[in-house]
């Protein structure tokens, strides 16, 4: 009977065990990664696929892609950031997009503090020193920077930003923030203008969404305002920082250092950054533990299962309110 048929779902990206196991008994899964000719594959499924699960992938789900699946109702995407999906277009065309917020907040905040400490106190560089046998010749030089006299300007104070700010408070580090809107229930000083905050602080912690509204938000002017003691930590997306301007600012010591978990063209990292001993570079580790990634995968599954059962999505993004306009 047609009513008992399992719905067809396209899986884009890695065949992650939690996602495949969680979905395969409830829906018929089609794997884009298996297709030799992706366009032909999508054409063959165009009449059937009504939902897409997006695992970890570099693929973009733009309007052109979604148009190839005219029956599409829901896109369940892995990760809190969804700048790889044209959510505005989806919302305008009755497609609900879901992401995986909250389950990763504390993990990403841990990574942010780790990256900040590594950058301020040069821990990775000191460890390289030990491994190279240099301790036998003398002590590692004293760190020039310290967290003790710093003020952190949060660029973004959402779910993850607040978890980072809580940790900073516990460390005794003053916190202020910039976002487009004041957050009503926090006591941190609010800066409506990023440039004003950059001028007043010596450390920026960037944790905003990627996409056009934040592209190159951290530009040469902001870095200049941050100044020669300045440290930039980017936990957001590479696109939020003008990478060329950052490289120039690090080379001529317009700012002191940077800790970067994200890059403009991952996994490619500019040679200039790799050659700089005093910056700290992480391979996009934000949420990357087995436990947290499994929780994110499970939320991808649960959003699809809710859709398949005719229930509202658990975590729709703001651009695609539920119920969708059709």
x/- letters, 263..292, toward ligand A2R (CB under 6 A): -----------------------x------
- Residue 164 binds ligand A2R (CB under 6 A): no
181 binds ligand A2R (CB under 6 A): yes
CB of 286 to ligand A2R, least distance (A): 6
Closest CA to 178 of 226, 119, 243: 226
Interface segment toward ligand A2R; rule CB under 6 A; list 13-21, 68-76, 134-142, 179-187: 179-187
Among this protein's residues, is 266 annotated catalytic? yes
Query: Residue 264 in 3-state DSSP?
Result: coil
Q: Does the protein bind ligand A2R through residue 198 (CB under 6 A)?
A: no
Q: Under the criterion CB under 6 A, does residue 80 sit at the interface with ligand A2R?
A: yes
Q: Quote the distance between the C-alpha of residue 322 and its chain's center.
A: 24
Q: How many residues bind ligand A2R (CB under 6 A)?
A: 23
Quick one: tokens of 50?
């009504």
| Number of Cβ within a 10 Å radius of residue 250 | 20
Of the candidate residues 161, 230, 259, 324, the single one contacting ligand A2R (CB under 6 A): 161
Asked if 301 interacts with ligand A2R (CB under 6 A), we say no
Shortest distance in whole angstroms from residue 154 CB to ligand A2R: 8
With DSSP H G I counted as helix, E B as strand and the rest as coil, what are the percentages for the chain, rounded to 5? 40, 15, 45
Pick from 179, 220, 248, 314 the residue near ligand A2R by CB under 6 A: 179
Tell whether residue 157 is a contact of ligand A2R (CB under 6 A).
Answer: yes
Q: Which of 302, 206, 199 is nearest to 255 (CA)?
A: 199
Does residue 311 touch ligand A2R according to CB under 6 A?
no
Q: Which of 237, 250, 259, 316 binds ligand A2R (CB under 6 A)?
A: 237
Name residues whose C-beta falls within 8 Å of residue 14's C-beta, 6 or more positions apart in sequence. Answer: 33, 55, 56, 57
Active site residue 278: no
Distance of CA 252 to the CA centre of its chain: 28
Q: Does 98 bind ligand A2R (CB under 6 A)?
A: no
Task: Give me the torsion for CA of 87, 90, 91, 97, rounded to 10°.
Answer: -60
Q: Which of 180, 196, 221, 291 binds ligand A2R (CB under 6 A)?
A: 180
Q: How far is the CB of 144 from ligand A2R (least distance, A)?
A: 29
Q: Which is nearer to ligand A2R, 192 or 312 (CB)?
A: 192
Please state whether beta strands 152-155 and 231-234 pair in parallel, antiparallel, or not at all (unpaired).
unpaired
Pick one of 214, 239, 292, 303: the residue that binds ligand A2R (CB under 6 A): 214
Cβ atoms within 10 A of the Cβ of 281, count?
Answer: 18
**Residue 142 CA to chain centroid, in angstroms?**
33
Q: Provide, rounded to whole angstroms, the least separation between the CB of residue 190 and ligand A2R.
A: 10
Q: Which of 162, 237, 243, 293 is catalytic?
A: 237
Q: How far is CA 287 from CA 155, 167, 203, 233, 239, in A?
A: 19, 16, 22, 16, 18
- Is-catalytic flag, 284? yes
Whether the CB-CB separation of 157 and 130 falls below 8 Å is answered with no
CB–CB of 128/107 below 8 Å? no
Catalytic residues, which ones? 237, 266, 284
User: Interface residues with ligand A2R (CB under 6 A)?
Assistant: 80-81, 101, 108, 156-161, 179-181, 207-210, 213-214, 217, 236-237, 286
């Amino acid at each position: 009977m047609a009513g008992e048929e399992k719905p067809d779902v396209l899986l884009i990206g890695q065949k992650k065990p939690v996602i495949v196991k969680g979905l395969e008994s409830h829906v018929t899964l089609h794997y884009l990664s298996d297709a030799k000719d992706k366009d032909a594959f999508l054409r063959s499924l165009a009449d059937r696929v009504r939902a897409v699960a997006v695992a970890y992938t570099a693929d973009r789900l733009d309007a052109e892609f979604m148009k190839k699946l005219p029956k599409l109702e829901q896109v369940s995407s892995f990760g809190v950031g969804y700048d790889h999906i044209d959510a505005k277009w989806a919302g305008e065309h009755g497609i609900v997009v879901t992401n995986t917020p909250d389950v990763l907040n504390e993990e990403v905040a841990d990574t942010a503090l780790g990256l900040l400490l590594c950058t301020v106190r040069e821990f990775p560089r000191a460890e390289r020193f030990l491994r190279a046998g240099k301790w036998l010749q003398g002590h590692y030089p004293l760190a020039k920077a310290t967290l003790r006299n710093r003020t952190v300007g949060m660029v973004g104070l959402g779910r993850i930003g607040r978890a980072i700010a809580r940790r900073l408070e516990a460390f005794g580090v003053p916190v202020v923030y910039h976002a487009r809107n004041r957050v009503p229930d926090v006591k941190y000083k609010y800066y409506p203008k990023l440039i004003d905050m950059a001028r007043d602080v010596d450390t920026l912690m960037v944790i905003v969404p990627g996409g056009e509204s934040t592209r190159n938000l951290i530009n040469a002017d902001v870095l200049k305002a941050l100044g020669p003691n300045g440290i930039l930590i980017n936990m957001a997306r590479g696109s939020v920082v003008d990478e060329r301007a950052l490289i120039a600012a690090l080379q001529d010591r317009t700012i002191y250092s940077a800790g970067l978990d994200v890059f403009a063209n991952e996994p490619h990292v500019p040679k200039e950054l790799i050659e700089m001993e005093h910056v700290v570079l992480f391979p996009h580790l934000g949420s990357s533990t087995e436990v947290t990634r499994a929780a994110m995968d499970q939320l991808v599954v649960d959003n699809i299962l809710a859709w398949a059962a005719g229930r509202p999505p658990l975590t729709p993004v703001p651009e695609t309110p539920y119920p969708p306009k059709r």
